[in-house]
Structure 1
Amino acid sequence: MASSGPSGLRIKSPDLLVAESGVDRAGNGLQRSMGLFQLVCFGIGAIVGTGIFVGLSDTVAEAGPAVIVSFVLAALTCVFTAFSFAELGGAIPVSGSSYSYAYATLGERTAFLVGWCLLLEYGVSVSAVAVGWGQYLNELLGSLIGWELPAALARPPGDGGIVNAPAVVVILLAALLLVRGIRESARATAAMAVLKLAILALFCVIGFSAFQDGNLSPFAPESVAGITSGASVAFFSYIGFDAITTAGEEVRNPRRNIPIAIMICIGVVTVLYCLVAVAAIGALSSDQVADQPAALSLIVNRVTDSTLGGGVIAFGAVVAIASVVLAVMYGQTRILMSMSRDGLIPRIFERISPRTATPVANTWIVAGVFAIPAAVVPLDVVMNLTTIGTLAIMAVVNVSVLVLRRTRPGLPRRFRVPLFPLSPVLGIGFCGYLIYGTGPATWLQFVGFLVVGSLVYALYGRRHSRLGAAPREPVGSEAPDPTLTSDPTAPDPALTFGSRGA
């Protein structure tokens, strides 16, 4: 079940990870109620939000019209890593995502640090996304009723405000929906995902109607350095696709549906982002778009010479960003639940409500903790640290694929990384390249963050780890999970939207 050796190097087998998944120590379990369509919408819901609605202007400020190349570079990084997530998500379908993959390949200490970094990717990014929500909420209020929230209550300190109240509100609303149940959350996320895709498609139509070739020249005013820096910023727009793997214990037929959902999400989002970037720069020059807090609404207002179109875009952004908060908070709670189940963090995070089949206390703690930085920290500070933490995690996932192919070649895999081992090696290389683009200040912040994580593991995680304890029966039933052993040729009931789980 676990390899021998120093505590930090203990490895938890994929079989034990799957055997212990689904229930807490009190025997309360999660429900497999998400189908493929809902899972794809959940993935899109986790990705499309602040990065494109708010962060586009920051990417343009770095790369100019070459923002298109920056988005493609960021997409390549995600594609190679998405292959690795798809293979591991199908082989080890549990809620722990990259934390569990590291535990199964690189040992307990590395797994803890990956979980620690996931606080950046999921928890801190919730704060970053929520900050952007307030900007578009004001844009929407201005379009509808001609009134906006005062800057003191709509922006954090350092950005002209005192406290970002809308950011706190959207986090608390997401938590309220999450504790009601996964079926309700999945349906809400699906509806919001469809709506925001329609809004972005509308933006592309409006932007291309005013396309001017001259706006693309000079194409790369900051040369390669600007494109690289822009790619690091653009990468934030793709963060969230791996949240699909955190639903591994609540998805029907996860070995099949998780890889398919990841590939669909990356393909749809990459095409959409490139179209939005081209439409934006074609409609207005990069100088006019750069550093604008609600760039898409601004572009539509200029093109249509009215505030109505911008109001529609602002409405789409409000919905889109809210759905990201919902999906990413979901992912964070499931990561913490897996770490708690392993004893590396307090037990309260693994407790599942027998009434709603959700980790209620876990959800409210996450909401409370990450509402604080959302209220008082400027967006750009949070974005850079989130980006480097996510890139580090993705590099580890690519390494995990290489290791698991060597240590467990016979493990069932419904999806295999193409061009192995070139694909994960390229994934590692692209992650390193974008980490370089985040800059020395962000590197130092990240090193400090890892040092604190190492201390937390040494003082708490290592001492409370359950892996080194006496052998025990796996949590839950010994009967095989039919959703993990089903006939791969059987019809997939997950294609029915909103259908009930088995």
Structure 2
Amino acid sequence: MGESSGEGPPGPLAADRHDGRDDGQNGRDGQDGCDGQDGGTPHAPEGELGLAQATALVVGNIVGTGIFLLPAALAAFGTISILAFGVVTVGAIALAVVFGRLGARLPAAGGPYAYSRDAFGEFPGFLNAWSFWITAWAGNAGIAFAWVGYVNYFLHWDSTLGKVAIGLFGLCLPALINLSGVRNMGTFQLVTAVLKFLPLIFISVVGLAFVRTADFGPFNATGNSWPAALSGAAALVLFAYSGVESATVAAEKVRDPVRNIARASVFGCLACAALYMLSTVAVFGTVPHDELVASEAPFADAVDNMFGGGVWGGVMAACAVVSGIGALNGWTMLVAEMPMASARDGLFPSVFAKVNARNVPYVGILAGTLFASVTFVAAFSAVNAFSAILLLATFTTAVPYMFSAAAQLFWLVTRGRRAERRHMARDVTVAAIALLFTFWMVVGAGTHAVFQGTLMLLAGIPVYIWIKASRGEYGVDRTKEIK
């Protein structure tokens, strides 16, 4: 992708990691055991995730448990939700293309962190890493919270203690899989991605043959203006695409990253977009609107209406269990990859850069699982905890997305012009759409989530100060210039 578009040689950041005392553009002088070719990143073995596994990582992280409840939530807004899905999908695909371009040009671990650091300097890079780290462990708590309900379809552990035990198991199992090695993690991710996709594809494709126009209900069921209904539906859809950046964050683990990161990002997003759109239309058109609004298992109700029978609830619950554990597996990898990349550059506590014998950043996995577990347990004492967690994660996701889109736009209008790009207008348009989409994500998160997320971002500033002080890096001394 990068070669055909004339974006120049890959990896300015990988070749230009700086030492924290310059303006964010100069290179490190080859310390920290690097071999001089990977620019400050310790030498690592060739990536173990091929294109299929990298795409499965993207798909598995995007498609979690929410898709199995989303049609019922969207039905309350009316069929305008389908339009909202289409609008959000355009923005998500634009983001995927942007991440593909950035990943091909800067195949560096950390994804959004690496792009913002390369374009805007150390401190924005740190804030992006900090924000994404919050997203990963908070999002895992939200996934686990929803996952418990599907597991309980079979276990019926309805006490608080029973639900906590199920959720903690769901958080710890992916941690153990990740700690066992990248290959095991990738295999598990690929298997769960296939298992979650097959039944959903079946409903999405076969269900179209059973669609009845009378079941779709009103276009706007809210009683508000259609722009307000559109925005309300879009707010629910926005987080459904979180994870499109997954392959870029795990760039160091991806084989042939210049080619495969771009492909995995775009292929994964397109596959999820097709699945989301088709399944939403199929469910809307096979379950009467009034029933869909009150449904607790919309996909099971859709299949029951297609073929009859009462076994489908169990089938869909099993699919949701597989989907959720696959999403937790992928996000557990990302909760460690981002801190590891920034720790190697001196922008996160150095302990996060430690790896075990299988080259796995075990400290990040253990810390992320711990924070997710604490958040998950605390959620049981909150009202509407699941929605609150997801909206917070929507905001903290939007921050690194916004900086990534801005980094691509920044490169295009500065260094990109010197590369004599043939598709400048197209690429600028895509980057601008992605940037506007991230602003919409912030608005959709709501004022409460934005307030909480901003406080959590500001809490990272003392951490940044402590890290820089512990390294003896206090910025550029301007006193001599003043004298």
For the criterion TM > 0.5, the same-fold answer is yes
Deviates more, 1:12-21 or 1:69-78: 12-21
Distance 2:473 2:58 in 1: 31
- How has the CA–CA distance of structure 1 residues 409 and 123 changed in structure 2, closer, same or farther, with 3 Å as cutoff? same
* Partner of residue 39, structure 1: 54
- In the TM superposition, residue 453 of structure 1 has moved relative to its aligned partner by 2.4
Secondary structure of the equivalent of 1:164? helix
Relative CO higher for 1 or 2, CA cutoff 8 Å, sep ≥ 6?
1
Look up the equivalent residue of 1:53 and give its one-letter code: F
Q: 1:337 to 1:227 in 2, by over 3 A?
A: same
Deviation at 1:227, TM superposition (A): 1.5
2:184 aligned with 1:184, yes or no?
Answer: yes
Distance 1:253 1:206, change over 3 A: closer
Query: Which residue pairs with 1:478 in the alignment?
Result: none
Deviations 1:10-48 (A, max 9, x none): 44669989824653xxx7x35411111111112111111
Q: Which residue of 1 aligns with 2:146?
A: 132
Q: Which amino acid aligns with 2:158?
A: P
Secondary structure of 2:432's partner?
helix
Whether 1:150 and 2:152 are equivalent positions in the alignment is no
1:87–1:417: 8 Å Cα contact kept in structure 2?
no
In percent, how many aligned pairs have the same letter? Answer: 23
Q: What's the offset of the Cα at 1:94?
A: 1.6
Determine if contact 1:90/1:415 at 8 Å carries over to the other structure: no
For residue 73 of structure 1, give the secondary structure of its aligned residue in structure 2.
Answer: helix
**Contact 1:90–1:414 under 8 Å retained in 2:** no
Name the CA distance, whole Å, in 2 between partners of 1:427 and 1:397. Answer: 9
Match of 2:373 in 1: 371
**Per-residue CA distance 1:177-213 (angstroms, 9 max, x = gap):** 0011101111111111111110101222564454221
Q: Partner residue of 2:284?
A: 281
| 1:71–1:274 Cα contact (<8 Å) kept | yes
TM-score, normalising length: structure 1: 0.81
Shift of 1:295: 3.1
Distance 1:468 1:84 in 2: 34
- Distance change >3 Å, CA 359–CA 277, structure 1 → 2: same
* Cross-structure match for 1:485: none
Per the alignment, residue 347 of structure 1 pairs with 350
- Counterpart in the other structure of 1:193: 193
Structure 2 segments unaligned to the other structure (5+ residues): 1-15, 380-384, 477-483
- For structure 1, the residue ranges without an aligned partner over 5 or more in a row are 142-146, 155-162, 471-502
Q: 1:258 aligns with which of 253, 256, 261?
A: 261
1:245 corresponding residue in structure 2: 248
- Pairwise CA distance, 1:455: 3.5
Give me the whole-angstrom Cα distance separating, in 2, the residues matched to 1:457 and 1:167.
Answer: 32
Question: Pick from 460, 463, 479: which aligns with 2:469?
Answer: 463
Alignment length, in residue pairs? 448
Partners of 1:432 and 1:240 lie apart in 2 by 17
Written as runs of structure 1 = structure 2, the 5 A alignment for 1:111-126 is 111-126=125-140
2:399 maps to 1:396: no
Give the match for residue 211 of structure 2: 211
Q: Which residue of 2 aligns with 1:168?
A: 168
**What is the DSSP-based 3-state SS (H/G/I as helix, E as strand, rest coil) of the residue aligned with 1:112?**
helix
8 A contact 2:21–2:473 mirrored in 1: no
> Secondary structure, in 3 states, of the residue corresponding to 2:177?
helix
Aligned match for 2:229, one of 220, 226, 233: 226
Amino acid aligned to 2:74? T
The RMSD of aligned alpha carbons is 3.1
Structure 1 residue corresponding to 2:84, chosen from 70, 76, 87: 70
Q: Distance in 2 between matches of 1:309 and 1:413?
A: 56
The verdict on how the C-alpha distance between 1:247 and 1:266 changes in structure 2, with shifts beyond 3 A counting, is: same
1:375-454 equivalent positions in 2, closer than 5 A = 375-377=377-379, 378-409=385-416, 419-454=426-461
Q: Pick which of 252-261 and 302-311 moved more.
A: 302-311
Secondary structure of 1:241 counterpart: coil
The answer to whether 1:320 aligns with 2:323 is: yes
Write the distance in 1 (CA, Å) between the matches of 2:422 and 2:142. Answer: 33
The code of the aligned residue for 1:307 comes to G
1:54 aligns with 2:69: yes
Amino acid at match of 1:357: N
User: Which of 92, 96, 102 does residue 106 from structure 2 map onto?
Assistant: 92
- Please state how far the C-alpha of 1:411 moved relative to its aligned partner: 9.9
Give the SS at the match of 1:338: helix
Residues 110 and 153 (structure 1), Cα distance of their counterparts in 2 relative to 1, 3 Å cut: same
Question: Which residue matches 1:330?
Answer: 333
Q: 1:102 aligns with which of 104, 116, 125?
A: 116
State the Cα distance separating 1:308 from its structure 2 match.
1.2
Q: Distance in 2 between matches of 1:83 and 1:41?
A: 17
Does the 8 Å CA contact 1:117/1:390 hold for their aligned counterparts? yes
Is 2:46 the counterpart of 1:19? no
Deviation sequence 1:321-341 (CA, Å, 0-9, x none): 111111111112100101211
Q: How far apart, CA to CA, are the structure 2 residues paired with 1:45 and 1:290?
A: 27
3-state secondary structure, aligned to 2:269: helix
TM-superposed CA distance for 1:152, in Å, is 2.3
Q: Name the amino acid aligned to 1:58.
A: A
2:361 maps to 1:359: yes
The residue type paired with residue 373 of structure 1 is T
Using the alignment, how far apart are the partners of 2:100 and 2:201 within structure 1?
Answer: 27
Contact 1:46 1:323 in 2 (8 A): yes
- Residue-by-residue CA offset, 1:91-112 (whole Å, 9 max, x unaligned): 1112111011111011111111
Q: 1:328 to 1:418 in 2, by over 3 A?
A: farther
- In structure 2, what is the Cα distance between the partners aligned to 1:229 and 1:59? 9
- Of residues 274, 298, 316, the one that matches 1:271 is 274
Alignment of 1:290-301 (within 5 A): 290=293, 292-301=295-304
Q: Could you say what secondary structure the match of 1:256 adopts? A: helix
Q: Distance in 2 between matches of 1:249 and 1:466?
A: 28
- For each residue in 1:332-377, what CA deviation from the matched residue of structure 2 results, as whole angstroms up to 9, or x when unmatched? 2100101211222222211111x21211232122112211212332
Matched to 1:367, the amino acid is T
CA deviation vs aligned residue, 1:23-82 (integer Å, no higher than 9, x gap): 3xxx7x354111111111121111111231234433333x32222112112211111111
Write out per-residue CA displacement over residues 373-402 of structure 1, whole angstroms, 9 at most, x where no aligned residue. Answer: 123322111011111221222111111012
Give the structure 1 partner of residue 9 of structure 2.
none
Amino acid at match of 1:19: D
Paired letter, 1:99: Y
CA 1:466–1:57 in structure 2 vs 1: closer, same or farther (change >3 Å)?
farther
| In 2, Cα distance between equivalents of 1:284 and 1:14 | 60
Runs of 4+ in 1 over 6 A off after TM superposition: 2-7, 14-18, 410-418, 466-470
Q: CA deviation at 1:280?
A: 1.2
